[in-house]
Structure 1
Amino acid sequence: MFITLRQFIRRFHGDEQGAAMVEMALVTPFVLLLSAGVFEFSNILNTRLLLEAGVEDGARYMARCNDSTWANCVLNGTNLAVSGSITGGSARVPNWTTPQVAVNVSHTLAVDAATGTELYLSSGANVDVVTVSTSVPYNGIGLWGYLGFGTLNITASHQERVFGW
Structure 2
Amino acid sequence: MLVALRHIIRHFKRDDDGAALVEIAIVTPFVLLLSAGVFEFGNILNTRMLLDAGVKDAARYMARCSTDWNTCSGYAANLAVNGAITGGSARVTGWTTGQISITPAVSTPAIDPTTGAELYLSSTANVVVVQVSTSYPYPDLGFWSYLGFSGQLALTVSHQERVFGW
TM-score normalized by structure 1? 0.94
1:100-139 deviation per Cα after TM superposition (whole angstroms, max 9, x unaligned): 0111101211110000011111111001100000010112
Residue matched to 1:73: 72
**1:6 is aligned to 2:6:** yes
Q: Distance in 2 between matches of 1:30 and 1:147?
A: 12
Question: How many aligned residue pairs are there?
Answer: 164
How far is 1:147 from its partner?
Answer: 2.9
1:46 shift after superposition: 0.5
TM-aligned CA deviation for residue 11 of structure 1:
1.7
State how far apart, in whole Å, the 2-side matches of 1:94 and 1:159 are: 24
Q: In 2, Cα distance between the equivalents of 1:144 and 1:35?
A: 11
Structure 2 letter corresponding to 1:110: A
Q: Quote the sequence identity (%).
A: 65
Matches within 5 A, 1:1-165: 3-67=3-67, 69-107=68-106, 108-140=108-140, 142-149=142-149, 150-165=151-166
State the AA in 2 paired with 1:130. V
Letter of the 1:159 partner, please give it: Q
Maintained 8 Å contact 1:111/1:120? yes
- RMSD, aligned α-carbons: 1.4
Which residues of structure 2 form unaligned runs of 5+? Answer: none
Q: CA deviation at 1:27?
A: 0.4
Task: Quote the offset at 1:6 in angstroms.
Answer: 2.6
Residue 14 (structure 1) shift = 1.9
TM-aligned CA deviation for residue 141 of structure 1? 6.2
Kept in 2: contact 1:78–1:98 (CA 8 A): yes
Q: Secondary structure at the match of 2:102?
A: strand
Distance 1:103 1:2 in 2: 82
Q: What's the TM-score once normalised by structure 2's chain length?
A: 0.93
Q: Shift of residue 146 of structure 1?
A: 3.3
For the 8 Å contact 1:40–1:140, the answer to whether it is kept is no
Give the secondary-structure state (helix, strand or coil) at the position aligned to 2:13.
Answer: coil
Q: How many Å separate the matches in 2 of 1:72 and 1:153?
A: 28
8 Å Cα contact 1:82-1:92 kept in structure 2? yes
Residue aligned with 1:131, SS: strand
Structure 1 contact 145–151 (Cα < 8 Å) conserved: no
For 1:82, what is the secondary structure of its paired residue?
A: helix
Structure 1 residues not aligned, in runs of 5+? none
Q: Which amino acid aligns with 2:103?
A: N
C-alpha displacement of 1:33: 0.6
